Structures are given as structure tokens and as C-alpha cells.
Amino acid sequence: MDSKENTPNLSENGKPVITITQISRPFFTHSEISYMHSQTIDESKKLQYNQTKYQIFQLLYQVIKQLKFPLRVLATAMNYYQRFYLFHKFDGAFDDMDKDPYVVAITCLLLASKNEDCIKKLKDLQSVVNKLRDIDENKPVTNTLDSSGDSIAYHELQRKYVLATEFKLLQLIKFDFSNGANSLSIKTSVDCLLVQFCKQLDINYRMSILSWLICFDIMSTPLCLVIPPHCIAVAIIIISLNLKPQEIKLDHHEIGEEDDDERLSEILDSIDCERDFKCPEVLVNEGILYILDYYIHQYSHSVLNNYLPAIDKQLGKEQIFKFMELKEKFIDLKNMNETSCKESLNRTDEYLSKWEFTTASKGIARFMLGNKRRRFNKELDIQG
């Protein structure tokens, strides 16, 4: 591909045209994310953003359950939703479809289902979402897209907004459909990877389920914007094997899993992220610390809370102390160095500013896959 330097930019009348080259960045550091949020979410709206996000993710979960979509569609949709509000203002105005987060949510689900090859008609997605929200799809509303003020069925207007938002979303994900994987041949869904890794490590049913439950909690966090899916999966496994709870409320059990303790410790000691899973250790550490922090702060709202007893027998204390204990143990882990992402530097990085959708109407926006993926080049030396 051409470098931008030798790309002259012309319009018909010979006037220069602005061209923006957008190189996809699948991941951001925490400080980059908080810098971006500072531009798109007002301080006063932070709480509302989080509450809305929670409600919307709950809704999306119901929708994919009804449509029998695999979990990876949900994961991708949640990734898109969070990515959207890195670059786009959050207004939280539910009655204005132009700013309605639910329109964004439907759009994310639409694009995720396309990207994950689980195609459903937009009309069907809308009808499931609207039904769950108790909205009468056929009620006439004023067509806000038209100055005539004519009325139009709710779902018709919603459809128009969704389609307009889809084009925006495509620009915000920079037309990068790889979900942060280095190559399309690498699976991108944490839950699929997790099951495979557990199998490879010969981890028993109880611990695999524990990992899966943690994965389910972490899926809705912005961690997927920070580190790649295989690193998240390995981080989850390491945490599960460290927690090793004696009791999990499960319907099924594997014979002999109670006597597996020693073997699990051996597995934990033998894990080498780089060698076994091609995961840079720093990124796995980042994941571990993030997940521990998540549980320390939000354990009572987590899915995991429903499956573990309130008091851990071994420790004789509430579960949350177990996560704090682990955090203590891991406090010295080397994690991502963010010195290159200070706020002063972030401010000069135009990629991080709110995306101007009118750019394309003034000039042209070109999209390329990122070379930041080179960070994970070691993944690529699979023999093919």
C-alpha cells in the first residue's frame, strides 16, 4: 500500500482535499481509554453511561439467548458498543433516536452477527429487542429525519437510524473485522479459546466451569479493548487455578475432581504463557490484575457470586478477601508500561480524538489494518 507521503490529494477543481489515513488499532492502554472517555462522556454522565451499559448488555444477552446465537456474537457486540463510545459522544438521550444508546446497541448486534456469520434480518433483531423492551413497534412516530413532520412507524424510523449508525460504527472500527486477532485463523472469542486451553491443559470440569463463569463476567468489561482474547483466556485460567474454590454450586460433577488439588497446582506451575499459548507475559499480567480488581470492586454484582458460597471455608472469610489476597500476591507482576501514553501525549494523538464523521464529506478517509498488531508477531510463527 502507498504511504501517505506520496498520496496527492486532489479534488475536481484542483483544491486540496483533506485525507485521513486511519490505521486500525484494536487495543488501547487504560490511560488512552480514560482520555478518550473524558472527551466523549461528560463527568456528570459517567454514572449514567455505566448504568446504561449494564442495562443494554443485559438486554443483548436476552436477545442472543432468544435468537440462539453463540456467545461470541454477544462478545463482539459488547466490544463494538464499548468501542463506539470511545469515539462518539454519549448523550444518554433515550427519546432522541439520533442519540439513543439502544439504537447503537441494535447496530452493534447487527454488525456483530454479520461479522460472526450468524446472519439475521435486521427486522427480526429489532422485533426481539423492541419486544423485550415492551415497545410497540408499529406505533406511529414523527419522522425526525424528514422535515415534513409526517408520521412513520416506530420500527421504520428505528431501522433508518440503525442503518445510519452502522456506517458510523464501521468507520469507528476502522473497517477492521479481525476483532483484534493477528490473523483470521486465530479464534477471537474468549469463551471458545478458554474451553480449548482448558482441554489442552487437562483441567477438570469444575475448574473449567469456574473459568467459564469468570469469562462470562469479564466479557462485558472493557478489557477486550486492552489486550487480545487469548491473553484474557490465559489470565482467567491462571486466576481460576489460584482460587481453586472447594465448593461451587454446580449441577454436574466429574468423578474424582475433589482429589485433583495437587495436580491442578502442578498444572498452574507448568503454564508458560509465551511457550504454550504465544501470549506475551506482560499482557497476561495486565489481564490478571484487571480481573482481580474487577472482582474486588464488583464481586457482589458478578455472575460468579451466584455460584460460590458467601463465605469461603478455607479462608473463613467472604469471597472478596480471596481476591484481595491474590492481588497482594500478584502486586509485583510486571504489567503494561504506560509511560508512552501520558495525557499530554494522548492529547497530541489525533487518532484518540472524537471521530469526525464529516471528515469523509470534506475529504476522504482511508482505512488500513494496523501494524500495532506486530506487538503480537510471535503468534504468527505457526507452521502452516
Which range touches other proteins (CB under 8 A), out of 58-66, 166-174, 238-246, 304-312?
166-174
Minimum distance from residue 291 beta carbon to other proteins (Å): 24
When the beta carbons of 13 and 344 are compared against other proteins, the nearer one is 13
Site for other proteins contains 18 (CB under 8 A): yes
Minimum distance from residue 175 beta carbon to other proteins (Å): 5
CA distance 122 to 263: 49
Site for other proteins contains 15 (CB under 8 A): yes
When the beta carbons of 29 and 302 are compared against other proteins, the nearer one is 29
Q: At what angle do helices 229-243 and 261-270 cross, to 10 degrees?
A: 140
When the beta carbons of 5 and 43 are compared against other proteins, the nearer one is 5
User: What is the DSSP-derived secondary structure letter of residue 355?
Assistant: P
According to CB under 8 A, which residues from 318 to 377 bind other proteins? 349-351, 360-361, 363-370
According to CB under 8 A, which residues from 104 to 143 bind other proteins? 110-111, 114-115, 117, 119, 121-123
In the chain, the amino acid numbered 72 is R
When the beta carbons of 92 and 370 are compared against other proteins, the nearer one is 370
Which range touches other proteins (CB under 8 A), out of 38-46, 173-181, 257-265, 285-293?
173-181
CA distance 258 to 273: 26
Q: Which of 61, 175, 294, 299 binds other proteins (CB under 8 A)?
A: 175
CA distance 49 to 71: 23
When the beta carbons of 31 and 305 are compared against other proteins, the nearer one is 31
Say whether 322 sits in a helix, a strand or coil: helix
CA distance 160 to 175: 21
Residues that contact other proteins, how many (by CB under 8 A): 65
Minimum distance from residue 283 beta carbon to other proteins (Å): 20
Stretch 52-81: interaction string toward other proteins, x if CB under 8 A: ------------------x-x---------
Three-state secondary structure along 136-177?
A: CCCCEEECCCCCCCCEEEHHHHHHHHHHHHHHHHHHHCCCCC
Helix (H) or strand (E) holding 344: helix 343-348
Q: Which of 132, 135, 164, 324 binds other proteins (CB under 8 A)?
A: 164
Minimum distance from residue 209 beta carbon to other proteins (Å): 18
Q: Which of 91, 156, 166, 318 binds other proteins (CB under 8 A)?
A: 166
Strands 317-318 and 311-312, bridge-based pairing: antiparallel
Minimum distance from residue 33 beta carbon to other proteins (Å): 16
CA distance 81 to 180: 15
CA distance 33 to 225: 9
Q: Which of 91, 141, 143, 177 binds other proteins (CB under 8 A)?
A: 177
> Cα torsion at 35, 41, 43, 47 (round to 10°)?
-120
Residues 313-324 as b/e (b if ≥16 CB within 10 A, e otherwise) read: eeeeebbbebbe
Q: Residue 292: name the closest of 240, 246, 228 by CA.
A: 240
What is Dmax (Cα atoms) for the chain?
78
Which range touches other proteins (CB under 8 A), out of 146-154, 188-196, 205-213, 323-331?
188-196
Residues that bind other proteins (CB under 8 A): 1-2, 4-12, 14-23, 25, 70, 72, 110-111, 114-115, 117, 119, 121-123, 162-164, 166-167, 170-171, 175-178, 183-185, 187-189, 192, 349-351, 360-361, 363-370, 384
